[in-house]
Structure formats: C-alpha cells, structure tokens
Amino acid sequence: MKLFHSPGACSLSPHIVLREAGLTFTLVKVDLATKKTAEGADYFAVNSKGAVPALQLDDGQVLTEGPAIVQYLADQKPESGLAPRAGTFARYRLMEMLNFITSEIHKGFSPLFNPKITPDWKEATLTALAKKFDWLSTQLAGKTFLLGDTFTVADAYLFTVLGWTKPTKIDLSKWPVLAAYHAHIKQRPKVQEAMRAEGLLK
C-alpha cells in the first residue's frame, strides 16, 4: 500500500493508523501547492480531488477520504481493536464520531488556513470551534479515549486535528480535558513514529 500524505495535514491520521495496525506501507509526500509528489509526478493522476490522504492499494485501486481510509485499514487488522467489528452498534458509534470530527472539527478549522480570512470571519470561526471543543470536553470527561478504554481510529483523527490548534494559535489549555487528551495520545510510540517520519518531531 501507498499512503499519499502532506506533513501535519489530515493524512497524519491514517499514517498513525497504519503504524498502530502494523501494516506494511510506503509513504509518498505530496506538495499540496503544486499537486506534485516528491518524485515530481502529477498527484491529480492518483486523486482527482487533489487532496490528501489517498491510499493506493497493491492492486492499484485508490481510496480517498480519511474516515473511509482509517476504517478500511482497521478492518485489515481486526485484532488490533482500532475499530469495533462491522455491523455492531459500537461500530456505528465510531462512525458517528468520525463524522463529527470530519464535518464539525476538521472543516471548522478550514477558514483559519485561508489567507483571505477577515477579522469577523475569524472571530466567528473561533467561536464555533470553541463550542465544538466544549462538547468534546464533556464527551471525554472520565474517559481515556473517545470510545472508552480503547484507542481507535477516531482518536488518531481527533489527535491530528487538535494538533492544528498550534499553527492557528488556539490556546488548547482553555479546555484542560482536551489538552490532557492530546498530550496523552502524543506519547503513544506509534504516534511518535508517524510524527517523526513526517518531520513533526525532532
């Protein structure tokens, strides 16, 4: 398998999952500005959306969209516990959380990376994100991970997007539960491996 990624982007989530699952893969770095791979190939030929992540399987098929990719990867190693078994209600809880992260948190950050953002737009974006962070804090209260006592693909995704508070200068310490959660996930050996491979840790 090949994972097409950009350092620190949402592709860090499936990168972490690949390592947590112990799967064999190759990392291919993508320049999102030029839409070229590190080897100079046209990334649009891999993913016509031009976004990361993209997972190219050994048979040539390409899967895109982070929440779909991480579930596919977890199902390749069900014994890893990275996702509840398909068809169980717990699996739907995982899907519920992945959808919340992708639509409310991930997309909620998007305007903050837009160089044309206005002060009013930025304020509205930060206010909306704060409400989502408030809700997440209540969900994580008394838990080690999003779904309880087991690390799942949802934790890899939430860890990734919470990491964006640093470049966007959001003070995560305003949400102690989230700050502690992020710090805890960051200590996982496979998370550190992935971050180191992307140049996010020295």
Give tens-digit pLDDT for 39-87: 999 999 999 999 999 999 999 999 999 999 999 999 999 999 999 999 9
User: CA angle, corner 108, sides to 176 and 165, nearest 5?
Assistant: 40
Query: Is residue 90's pLDDT more than 80?
Result: yes
Instruction: Return the number of other C-beta atoms located less than 10 Å from residue 173's C-beta.
Output: 10
**For 148, left (φ over 0), alpha (ψ -120 to 50), or beta?**
left
Q: What is the pLDDT of residue 156?
A: 98
* This prediction's pTM: 0.97
Output DSSP code: residue 34.
T
User: pLDDT category, 151, cuts 50, 70, 90?
Assistant: very high
pLDDT of residue 155: 98
pLDDT-derived band at 202, boundaries 50, 70, 90? confident
Please tell me the CATH code under which domain 89-188 is placed: 1.20.1050.10
Per the prediction, the chain carries an average pLDDT of 97
The reply to whether domains 2-80+190-197 and 89-188 share a CATH topology is no
User: E strands along the chain, which residues?
Assistant: 2-5, 26-31, 36-37, 54-56, 62-64
Domain ranges of the chain: 2-80+190-197, 89-188
- Of the candidates 64, 52, 30, 70, which has an alpha carbon nearest to the alpha carbon of residue 153? 70
Q: Which fold has domain 2-80+190-197?
A: Glutaredoxin (3.40.30)
